[in-house]
Amino acid sequence: MKKTIVWLLVLLLCLPMMASAEDVIKIGIFEPMTGSYAGGGEMEMEGISLANELYPEVLGKKVELVVGDSKSDKVEASNAAASLVNSGVVAVLGSYSSGLSMSGADVFAEAGIPALTATSTNPMVTQDSDWYARICFIDPFQGTMLARYAVEQGFRKIAVVQEIESEYAVGLATYFEKEIALHEGFEVVSKGNFVNTDQDFSTLLTEALSKEPDVIFSSVGYAPSAALIIKQARELGFTGAIVGGDTLDAPELFEIAGAYVKGVIFTTFYDSAQPATEKTEEFLTAYRAKYGKEPAGPTIMAYDAYLTLLNAIETANSTDPVAIRDALFATKDFVGAAGPITLNETHDAVRPVVFKQMAEDGVSSFLAIIEP
């Protein structure tokens, strides 16, 4: 009799914990929170955290964010992905950096866990994948539009500097160069490689500037490298244009390069000066109140990725990863803060690219928006 009473007491004590576990839906956050890409992870985490504060529940259950730090390393990214799978997440958001997303892709696929990236633009992230989706544009489009911009501006002689160990940077530069090659009278006169631990770009830049380029195209995995390239190019006397992709949309660009950022042109996902939907103002008001600054493109995209995933869970009316995956891949005309989101047959979003230009005080202004 005493044993029966003891077991009943144990069961009663466990019931609240069981109920608590059943009332929680775990979503994995797959981001580089430390290492060379930590700034990118932080930008996306700001958006996800804010979205979670404003929309903390789905299907009547609390959303618990489980963070897996990839440490900006491909091996560690695979380990972080495995850790998230083992923690019981039903889906994953991330990562900043296409290479890191690709490093976790096989782990998520093997476990049958859907993943959604806000900003990984390399097409290989979703190519031939039954589990990865994205809400951003892809590099064939971004690289082509950057090249066409260079042509429109009459930048006939182009120097390319690329981060050779970054799948994103190499891919973007490749698509950029392919488009340039289609235009008679325009050519890449210099191409230099670097790694993200490099600090001194004087040799690379001296070689590039000896070709007298009209523009430097900086294809980098994250902004600090671009900032050093900008600063050192200007110190070497280069007065031409400097252009880059979406990874230049980060506070480190101005923090490191200072007033040398004046005139730098880059692509990004969104410009806060042009509200896109009824959800835009909600995001901007909440973000400014919480962080006291203007959001970068990756931040609003990560915010939208969270909302898109919650919408998929609601649509599926299930926490089953397969059902969530199927609903996610079928996303159509979902209204996000950065604009409407529809995923195509390759699980990629079809959306415009925004061009912005920086002033010497680090404030960027809208230049153009180009639809696909």
Mean pLDDT for the stretch of residues 250-278: 92
Residue 272's pLDDT is 77
Mean of pLDDT values over 94-106: 97
Are residues 252 and 157 both part of a single domain? yes
CA distances to 58, 86, 170 from 230, in Å: 45, 43, 19
Q: What is the mean pLDDT of residues 12-30?
A: 69
Is residue 17 one of the residues assigned to a domain? yes
| Gyration radius (Cα) of the chain, Å | 22
Cα–Cα–Cα angle for 50, 51, 53, rounded to 5 degrees: 65
Residue 108 within any structural domain of the chain: yes
**Same domain flag for 304 and 216:** no
Task: Determine which of 5-9, 148-152, 289-293, 294-298 has the lowest per-residue pLDDT on average.
Answer: 5-9
How large is the average pLDDT for residues 102-108?
98
Q: Residues 149, 257: one domain?
A: yes
Report if residue 346 sits inside a domain: no
Rounded to an integer, the average pLDDT of 239-253 is 97
Query: Mean pLDDT throughout 117-138?
Result: 97
Torsion of CA 225, 227, 233, 239, to 10 degrees: 140
- What is the band of 252 on the pLDDT scale with cuts at 50, 70, 90? very high
Q: What is the mean pLDDT of the chain?
A: 94
Tokens of 3: 């044993």
Domain carrying residue 192: 140-268+354-370
For the cut 70, the answer to whether the pLDDT of residue 11 exceeds it is no
**Residue 78, domain member (yes or no):** yes
Q: Angle at CA 59, nearest 5°, toward 56 and 63?
A: 30
Q: What is the pLDDT of residue 18?
A: 42
Residue 31 binned pLDDT confidence (cut-offs 50, 70, 90): very high
Report whether 218 contacts 7 (CB < 8 A).
no
Band (pLDDT 50/70/90 cuts) for residue 21 is low
341, 118 Cβ separation under 8 angstroms: no
Which helix (H) or strand (E) element contains residue 296?
Answer: none
The verdict on whether omega for the bond into residue 219 sits within 30 degrees of 0, i.e. cis, is: no
Q: Are 265 and 238 in contact (CB under 8 A)?
A: no
Task: Inform me whether the pLDDT recorded for 19 exceeds 90.
Answer: no
| Same domain, yes or no: 151 and 33 | no
Residue 371's Cβ-side half-sphere holds a number of Cα atoms within 13 Å equal to: 2
325 token code pair: 């995956």
User: Containing H/E element for 14?
Assistant: helix 2-22
In sequence order, the 6+-apart residues with CB closer than 8 A to the CB of 198 are: 225, 228
Structurally, how many domains does the chain consist of?
Answer: 2
Q: Residues 165, 251: one domain? A: yes
Residues 251 and 307 in one domain: no
pLDDT at 291: 96
Lowest mean pLDDT among 21-35, 226-240, 265-279, 295-309: 265-279
Q: Indicate if 364 and 237 belong to the same structural domain.
A: yes
Read off the pTM.
0.92
The predicted model gives 214-226 an average pLDDT of 97
Q: How confident is the model at residue 7 (pLDDT cuts 50, 70, 90)?
A: very low
Q: Is 347 helix (H, G, I), strand (E, B) or coil?
A: coil
* Residue 183, domain CATH: 3.40.50.2300
Q: CB 17: neighbour CB atoms within 10 A? A: 9
Tokens of 19: 């109920």
In a domain, 358, yes or no: yes
For 198-209, how does the pLDDT look when each residue is reduced to its tens digit (9 = 90+)?
999 999 999 999
Model confidence pLDDT, tens digit, residues 312-361:
999 999 999 999 999 999 999 999 999 999 999 999 999 999 999 999 99
Helices (H) and strands (E) in the chain — how many of each?
Answer: 12, 15
Indicate if 41 and 118 belong to the same structural domain. Answer: yes
CB atoms near residue 59 (< 10 Å): 13
Sheet of 24-31, strands arranged across: 57-58, 61-69, 24-31, 91-93, 115-117, 132-134
Q: What is the pLDDT of residue 2?
A: 44
At what angle are helices 167-180 and 139-152 packed, to 10 degrees?
50
Residues 15 and 80 in one domain: yes
Lowest mean pLDDT among 16-30, 157-171, 309-323: 16-30
Average pLDDT of the segment spanning 224-230: 97
275-319 per-position pLDDT tens digit = 678 899 999 999 999 999 999 999 999 999 999 999 999 999 999
Q: Are residues 56 and 21 in the same domain?
A: yes
Judgement on whether residues 86 and 170 belong to the same structural domain of the protein: no
Q: Establish if 111 belongs to a structural domain.
A: yes
